Structure 1
Amino acid sequence: MGVRERVQALAGVPVQTGSRPVVFGANGHHFRLEQVLSPKELAELEAQIGVRLPEEYRTFLLQVGAGGAGPAYGVFSVQLKDGRWQWAGDGADLADASRLAEPFPVAGPDPTIVEALLKRCPQEEDFDDIEDFDTAYEAWDGQWLEVMWNPQRTVGGIALCHLGCARRQWLVVSGPEQGRIWSDDRVDEVDLAPLLDADDQPVTFARWYLDWLDHAEQQTHSQQK
């Protein structure tokens, strides 16, 4: 049974027990997949972005689906809108489709700059007036965003999946990390970092997706017993 068929086989399984989802995020995507891309559509997409996508992800788009069921709330969909290909999902627009051919910057910001910024973060209890605190925090937040959320940080990457609470995962398209998944917990003041397995090995797209599918099958089958 192929990967698409394995996912579709889960579509008839109850995704929730009481208020708890059987598989995290499945009550959002319900194990539904988008239609696959045709080779012609994939060629058009790659011509538009100016780079060949990682092989495992290309196979997914051609044989499994252009998005849908997957880790957490699902894989962001590739869609054709107004004659242009784009990724759709909560935070998919963080990726700059015009800069996917540029190498993904492995190195993050200078740790000393980040540490200094965190130390300077205004604390509400240090202010007598809440408006003064709001003003100070807004000024600090602008500096924080410039360092941590600068678009330059994620060139060469696709925002692929939303984990909830503004946490996401990225697929690196260009550069030495091509084909690997990176975690984005910047909302929790944690920098971008490669996703590693239990043996501290980088996780590629196929491993990321198949590990999720194996887990989903185990969880749904145990629920049916």
Structure 2
Amino acid sequence: MNRKKEILEKLAFIKSHKELVSFGVKEQEVSHNPCLSEAEIAAFERKHSITLPDDYRFFISEIGNGGFGPGHGLLPLNKAIVDFKLRDKPNISLNKEFPYQDDWNEEWIASFDWDEEYPDTEIVDAYISTAHIAGCLQISHFGHGCTFLLVVNGNEKGHIWFDGRADYSGLIPKMKDGHRISFIEWYVTFLDMEIENINKSLTNSTTD
């Protein structure tokens, strides 16, 4: 099936049963921002000295530049480069490679006595620095300051990671069936889960 047609059909089904989506998703509109033109995407890539993953590039040019999606929805490209959870709202350096290939967290976190004290500001600032997510778009806010990342530079380019540093749980690659997942895999999996929830609700309503 044509990927664009598949996604639009899934979105249309979800929109027609919006009252049955999962609790967190109910707050979102099943819609997307206007698509970006090829010229706009190319200008962004030149500015940041990167090339976006093909499937994400397709999405923002054919489906929408942010909108309905996992967590609190997809952020548009110009907002995905800003680390919104930090006070000074710094930009993420996309022209530097993402530094990790495996799960990462600071060793001190596991041994820290959280009942007795709180880490020094300098330690926390270093932990939540954007240096740890260089080469990533922060494409969706999961909640409590945790986010989904799309790696756009480095060995993990094209893969989705979860940034749980706001809860001191580090950085973790998203997996499905034992392999890293791309943006489109992640997004379609989200749609399929919502459709499954809707179908369960429809089935239960007919058997009650």
Q: Quick one: higher RCO (CA 8 Å, sep 6+), 1 or 2?
A: 2
| Pair 1:46–1:90, CA change in 2 (3 A) | closer
Report the residue type matching 1:189 in the other structure: Y
Report the equivalent of 2:45.
46
In structure 2, C-alpha distance between the alignment counterparts of 1:223 and 1:90, rounded to whole Å: 37
Label 1:15 to 1:163 Cα distance change in 2 as closer, same or farther (>3 A): farther
Aligned to 2:69: 70
TM-score by structure 1 length? 0.75
Question: Cα RMSD between the aligned structures?
Answer: 2.9
**Partner residue in 1 for 2:195:** 217
Offset, 1:142? 1.1
Is residue 2:190 matched to residue 1:191? no
Please state whether the residue corresponding to 1:190 is helix, strand or coil.
coil
**Cα offset, 1:221, TM superposition:** 2.9
**Does 2:158 align with 1:179?**
yes
Conservation of the 8 A alpha-carbon contact between 1:92 and 1:158: no
What does residue 87 of structure 1 align with? 80
| Kept after mapping to 1: 8 A contact 2:73/2:140 | yes
> Deviations for 1:51-96, whole angstroms, at most 9, x for unmatched residues?
1111110011111110111112211123xxxxxx443898377673
| 3-state SS in 1 of match to 2:107 | helix
Equivalent pairs: percent with the same residue? 25
Normalised by the length of structure 2, the TM-score is 0.80
- Letter of the 1:96 partner, please give it: N
Unaligned runs of 5+ in 1: 17-21, 79-84, 125-135
2:206 alignment partner in structure 1: none
Q: What is the Cα deviation at residue 202 of structure 1?
A: 0.8
2 CA distance for matches of 1:163 and 1:155? 19
1:81 corresponds in structure 2 to none
Which residue is 1:106 aligned to? 100
Q: Distance in 2 between matches of 1:217 and 1:8?
A: 11
Note closer, same or farther for the CA distance 1:182–1:122 as it changes in structure 2 (3 Å cut). Answer: closer
CA 1:168 to 1:117, structure 2 compared with 1: closer, same or farther past 3 Å? closer
Matches within 5 A, 1:132-151: 137=118, 140-151=119-130
Alignment match, 1:15: 19
Distance of aligned partners of 1:9 and 1:123 in 2 relative to their CA distance in 1, 3 Å threshold: closer
Once the two structures are superposed, residues 130-172 of structure 1 have per-residue CA deviations (whole angstroms, 9 ceiling, x without a partner) of: xxxxxx63xx241332342122111100111111122211000
Q: Distance in 2 between matches of 1:196 and 1:187?
A: 21
Unaligned stretches of 5+ residues in structure 2 = 204-208
Q: Which has the larger radius of gyration?
A: 1
1:185/1:36 Cα in 2 relative to 1: closer, same or farther (>3 Å)? Answer: same
Aligned pair 1:152/2:131, yes or no?
yes
Distance 1:90 1:58 in 2: 21
Letter in 1 for 2:91: D
